[in-house]
Chains A and B, each alone.
Chain A
Amino acid sequence: MTSAWLTWPRPPLAATPREPVVAKAATQRISFSGPQARSLWQPRLERLRHVALAIEFEKVRQGRIPATLVWTDYDGVDALTEQARAIGLDAKPVKASLGYAADWPPEASIDEPKRLLDYAFLIGARPLDASIAEPAADGLAQAAMRFGYPACCARSWANDLRHGGSDPLASLLARDDKAAMPAHVALAVLGLGPLRHAPCSADCLASREGSRAFLDLGRELGFVEEMAWLEEIADWAVDASLVNGIAEITTATFRCTWLSDEGAARARPLRRAVMRPEKRKAAPGEPADSANILTEFGNGFEAAGFESPFAMRSRFSTVVWEQTAALRRATSAVHVGCREGLLLELIAQTKSKLKLYGTEEDAAAAEAARRRLGASLPVLGGAGLEALAALARLVPEGLDLAFVDPKQLGGRDALAAVRAIAKTVIVIGTDRSLHRFKDMNAYAAAMGLALLPGRAARVSAALSPANDRLH
């Protein structure tokens, strides 16, 4: 095996292309569309690279073209020259170029610069005159024709070279023609054939003939399966574009890209957006302003024992999160001293079928809660015990859960009333209580309460059914 890369296109070439081995660059920049595509096509492309080299050498051997140009790294020089000599051809180094840093072998170092270079070899019949790849006195077009270019393509390529071009595909893309780019033209840049010269247009008939001749020779040499792969590739749909000098080809199997010498001045900038699946439309809704949002969060945060509306919202969200299991089991719940109803709203969002109630002594806050929660969720007004008594009458069968801040309850009688209504009492820790007592256990103990053991109690906890002595 050799690490050699055929140039694309065939000579004549620009004196100073941006990348000496565009075919190598483009191939190494292949990004497959998935693992299946890669497992099938990566070895095929690798095989095609070697087959293309063999076919090209055979063309030289048969005298159809006088020579071809191949690049290799330092470690591949011996193998390449041996491959040429094995079929009676000569290999002459004609150029060296600083290779690509990422390709440098790990053991190579600046002390051994020859291993950092890529080498161009002209491969031709003996005796090999290296000047045949140079523009002849009769001009670039004549040189191109010697290397197998049809006359139309030779003229076109010569013109491109004279205008500083070095990348035939980019040149085609930069032209404002609307012709679709056939796959065998677009993917010629990979140096795999069957198109080996720079075509004058995407639909050049002479270039098609040249491609066919390459395939025929390949089959004659026994590469039947490989030529079938090339024919399959020729049927692929491709999207080729050039934007600010960067060419990109996308197929269903892979995409690849390379930096072209076609500068911005000659480029056809891509002005359309990349095609992508249509997305669903965004959530409806006009942004409310800050005042409305803060109202939504709850104005009564200080009275409820919190330092900010954000703290109250965050805490109540955390209470609901902590009590997920209890809420899942429950069918009814009350928030005693519900202020503007934020906790009840958050509970309702989590379990909409739960039958919820609120009590609130402050008439304005109770009214705000009713506005927030709607008519289907009763918020009972009046003093604490009075509201609890009303709740007991409203729900004679009792409730599963009661959420309370013991600080706000007002005494032992109120707690007893809550206990009488609810099977489980959940204590909520506000900023005020948690800052003072540090954690729920300390808070409960200070209030003469005992928490149900067994669960983390960060900001809420169920009261133990044991007798409490609420202070």
Chain B
Amino acid sequence: MTVEVRPLGDKCNIKCRYCYQEGIRTAGNVPTRYDLDAIMATLDRLAEPFSLFGGEIMMTRRPDLERLMQLGFDRHGGVGMQTNGTLIEERDIELFRKYRVRIGISIDGPGPLNDARWAGSLPATRRATARIEAVIETLCREGMPPNVIVTLNRMNAAPERLGVLCEWIRFLGSLGVRKLRLHLLEQDETEGGEGLALTAQENLAALRRLRRLEQELPSVQFDIFAEMAAMLRGDDARTSCVFHACDPYATRAVVGVESDGRLGNCGRTNKDGVTHLRAGREAFERQLSLYRTPQAEGGCQGCRFFLACKGNCPGTAIGGDWRMRSVDCPVWFGLFEDIETELQAKGETAISRSERRSDLEAKMIAAWSIGDNPTLHSLIEQVDAP
């Protein structure tokens, strides 16, 4: 479980248009104040490592931010932080070091490749991008290389730009960046006209190229490819939330601690501008429905990758309706096929091709039906047990 502390909710200084939180901001549902004591009390109660999140976490008052960092350091030996990097200043570097802050920075590339992360005007956008680039280099030089999140879109991964993106990632590797997370741009009907989203074919081509790049750069890891391979092996102990049957009413992988200390859900499924609170019961209606619903109707019926994929993130569902499978299905399917082929070539059996697949599916469906969500690994052990 990831605990995300969000003192200012979705408030952000740059407001990227493709950001999944933009609906909340446009609806005006952003807190202007926060209750730090309530937040810290909730963190005490949860007793889990946490990440400082947003919106943009660096908009939080520095003394309050330091208290949160100190709490993370004292209780858990450190704290995660996800930021757009534009508000980091020289004085923050020492805080990061002092409290062992593990930093993740969102940037789509250098200069014009990051233009989708719009900051109000082109000069402001380019200025913000230059600051992020500076922060990445500074953190690397300080021995605290950040993880980098890159969202693939037309400004950085269109066919005519993909080469530049790859070379920049190569450069990041030379600086000391070790981990990159790749996101697909969230697509929905209101954003279709914005022209930022790649087609499924372009996304797949970009991911395939980046996967080849990963093999050329042993020091840099894109976590998504390793996780997909792990899912096909049935080894899901450390894979990320999109592969774990997310319930948008009570997201298990991500728990938000909001401005007043209450628990919130992952915001990716908040499409109507409302940050709903967690439901009392976790359930798996989405996965149960997808399993029995024909693919032509937005389901996953008959898909051999269902156990590994589970319809992917409900925040990326077709038409913005969490009950459908991910709109990025063709991309994930293509990548799963690639990885499946490679595993088989190496003599490994992917669960998608396993004789035990239908048995495993039946066990998983039975578990979800009573509200349980076992790991794939535990089911495989059950099936293999004498």
A263 to B301, CA, bound (A): 13
Q: Which residues of chain A have C-beta atoms less than 8 A from B367's C-beta? A: 101
Closest-by-CB residue of A relative to B299 is A244
Whether A259 contacts B370 by the Cβ 8 Å rule is no
Q: Which residues of chain B have C-beta atoms less than 8 A from A349's C-beta? A: 123, 126-127, 130
Closest-by-CB residue of A relative to B25 is A277
Whether B319 contacts A310 by the Cβ 8 Å rule is no
Assess whether B278 is interfacial by the CB under 8 Å rule: yes
Assess whether B246 is interfacial by the CB under 8 Å rule: no
| Listed stretches A30-38, A196-204, A446-454; interface member | A30-38
> Which of A243, A285, A297 meets B323, CB within 8 Å?
A243
Q: Given that A35-B262, A352-B123 are known contacts, is A318 also in contact with B137, CB under 8 Å in the complex?
A: yes
Whether A244 contacts B134 by the Cβ 8 Å rule is no
> Which of A100, A250, A254, A346 meets B130, CB within 8 Å?
A346
| Listed stretches A4-12, A71-79, A287-295, A384-392; interface member | A287-295
> Which of B110, B138, B171, B249 meets A458, CB within 8 Å?
B138
Whether A264 contacts B110 by the Cβ 8 Å rule is no
Closest-by-CB residue of B relative to A263 is B292
Whether B323 contacts A244 by the Cβ 8 Å rule is yes
Q: Which residues of chain A have C-beta atoms less than 8 A from B89's C-beta? A: 324
Q: Which residues of chain B have C-beta atoms less than 8 A from A289's C-beta? A: 160-161
Q: Which residues of chain A have C-beta atoms less than 8 A from B65's C-beta? A: none
- List residues of A (86-122) whose CB comes within 8 Å of B's CBs: 98-103
- List residues of B (95-153) whose CB comes within 8 Å of A's CBs: 110-113, 115-116, 118, 122-123, 125-127, 130-131, 133-138, 141-142
> Which of B112, B160, B171, B297 meets A314, CB within 8 Å?
B171
Closest-by-CB residue of B relative to A33 is B274
A224 to B110, CA, bound (A): 65
A350 to B142, CA, bound (A): 23
- List residues of B (286-329) whose CB comes within 8 Å of A's CBs: 286, 288-290, 292-294, 297-299, 319-321, 323-324
Q: Which residues of chain A have C-beta atoms less than 8 A from B113's C-beta? A: 293
Q: Given that A31-B279, A318-B133 are known contacts, is A283 also in contact with B115, CB under 8 Å in the complex?
A: yes
Closest-by-CB residue of A relative to B163 is A290
Which residue of A33, A279, A289, A459 has the most chain B CB atoms within 10 A of its CB atom? A279
- List residues of A (249-285) whose CB comes within 8 Å of B's CBs: 250, 254-259, 263-264, 269-283, 285
A211 to B22, CA, bound (A): 41
- List residues of A (3-42) whose CB comes within 8 Å of B's CBs: 18, 25, 28-35, 38
Min CB distance A436 to B, Å, is 16
Q: Which residues of chain B have C-beta atoms less than 8 A from A30's C-beta? A: 279-280
Q: Given that A282-B195, A293-B111, A318-B133 are known contacts, is A274 also in contact with B320, CB under 8 Å in the complex?
A: yes
A287 to B118, CA, bound (A): 14
Whether B137 contacts A317 by the Cβ 8 Å rule is yes
Whether B155 contacts A287 by the Cβ 8 Å rule is yes
- List residues of A (397-449) whose CB comes within 8 Å of B's CBs: none
Whether B188 contacts A259 by the Cβ 8 Å rule is no
> Which of B138, B175, B283 meets A29, CB within 8 Å?
B283
- List residues of A (229-250) whose CB comes within 8 Å of B's CBs: 243-246, 248, 250
Closest-by-CB residue of B relative to A345 is B126
Whether A280 contacts B17 by the Cβ 8 Å rule is yes
Q: Which residues of chain B have C-beta atoms less than 8 A from A272's C-beta? A: 319
Whether A264 contacts B292 by the Cβ 8 Å rule is yes
Min CB distance B384 to A, Å, is 21
> Which of A98, A244, A324 meets B290, CB within 8 Å?
A244
Assess whether A51 is interfacial by the CB under 8 Å rule: no
A98 to B367, CA, bound (A): 12
Of the A-B pairs whose beta carbons lie under 8 Å apart in the complex, a sample of 16, sorted by A's number, is A18-B369, A29-B281, A32-B276, A33-B274, A101-B370, A243-B324, A244-B289, A245-B293, A255-B276, A257-B285, A313-B110, A314-B133, A314-B136, A317-B133, A317-B137, A458-B142
B-contacting residues of A (Cβ < 8 Å)?
A: 18, 25, 28-35, 38, 98-103, 243-246, 248, 250, 254-259, 263-264, 269-283, 285, 287-290, 293-294, 296-297, 307-308, 310-311, 313-315, 317-318, 320-322, 324, 346, 349-350, 352, 456, 458-459
| Other A-B pairs beyond A270-B319, A285-B155, A287-B154, 20, CB < 8 Å | A29-B283, A32-B276, A34-B274, A35-B260, A35-B262, A100-B281, A103-B371, A243-B321, A244-B324, A264-B299, A270-B323, A273-B190, A273-B319, A282-B18, A282-B195, A287-B158, A311-B171, A317-B131, A321-B138, A324-B89
